[in-house]
Amino acid sequence: MKNLVLFGPPGAGKGTQATFLKDTYNLIHISTGDVFRYNIKNKTDLGILAKSFMDKGELVPDHVTIDMLNAEVAKNLDSNGFIFDGFPRNTLQADALDELLKSHETEVSAMIALEVDDEVLVQRLLKRGETSGRPDDANESVVRNRIKIYYKQTAILKNYYFDASKYYGVNGVGSVEDITERLKAVINNL
């Protein structure tokens, strides 16, 4: 199995790139944010709980997120592998992912990070908020809080995967096609 963690701050382009990469490599794309949004739309208990955190730009509690991720992986064990988008977001989640994949006799192949400057992120997210219908994109203070939480809790995962010799940084500024090509160059060499 090829299991990729697509990494980067909110607005780095993870979701956009994952939709191209999943077709190229025949992988299952799991975006934890998308799964939460699906549950919000369908007014499930998970959705109602997740919404109270997402609207403020905060992380949904780990046990809830990890249980949900485990269930998504369990549905697709016959696949070629996964693109994890928006997960893990802290060390506890990274440990949980390692454990989960190990229990299925596989592992994270690589973390590929899209690197983009903060001000570019804020502008991209606010622009996306004009059309995405995502309340957490439309409000500048929520956008800035998401980026702040990324640096406080998530960015540290660079070291986690770097120490395991699994970290690859890619310039996330440029045309969508150019960035896809940069990502493919990394993945084809794994």
Residues classed as catalytic? 14, 89, 128, 134, 146
- Alpha-carbon distance of 97 to 107, in angstroms, equals 9
- Alpha-carbon distance of 20 to 101, in angstroms, equals 23
What contacts 14, CB < 8 A, 6 or more positions away?
A: 6, 7, 8, 31, 85, 86, 114
Contact between 129 and ligand AMP by CB under 6 A: the answer reads no
- Number of residue whose CB is nearest ligand AMP: 33
* Candidate ranges 50-58, 111-119, 159-167, 169-177; the one touching ligand AMP (CB under 6 A): 50-58
Residue 43 in tokens: 């007014």
Number of chain residues interacting with ligand AMP (CB under 6 A): 17
Contact between 29 and ligand AMP by CB under 6 A: the answer reads no
Q: Select the residue interacting with ligand AMP from 4, 30, 46, 60 (CB under 6 A).
A: 60
Beta carbons of 59 and 151 less than 8 angstroms apart: no
Distance of CA 154 to the CA centre of its chain: 11
Residue 37: Cβ within 10 Å count: 19
Residue 75 in tokens: 């549905």
* Type of residue numbered 190: L
Q: Select the residue interacting with ligand AMP from 57, 82, 114, 160 (CB under 6 A).
A: 57
Contact between 54 and ligand AMP by CB under 6 A: the answer reads yes
* Candidate ranges 22-30, 38-46, 55-63, 103-111; the one touching ligand AMP (CB under 6 A): 55-63
Nearer to ligand AMP, 55 or 117 (CB): 55
Contact between 65 and ligand AMP by CB under 6 A: the answer reads yes
Q: Select the residue interacting with ligand AMP from 7, 21, 27, 32 (CB under 6 A).
A: 32
Q: Is cis: bond before 135, omega within 30 of 0? A: no
- Alpha-carbon distance of 84 to 27, in angstroms, equals 10
Nearer to ligand AMP, 18 or 110 (CB): 18
Contact between 87 and ligand AMP by CB under 6 A: the answer reads yes
* Type of residue numbered 57: G
Which residues form the interface with ligand AMP (CB under 6 A)? 10, 32-33, 36, 53-54, 57-60, 65, 86-87, 89, 93, 136, 146
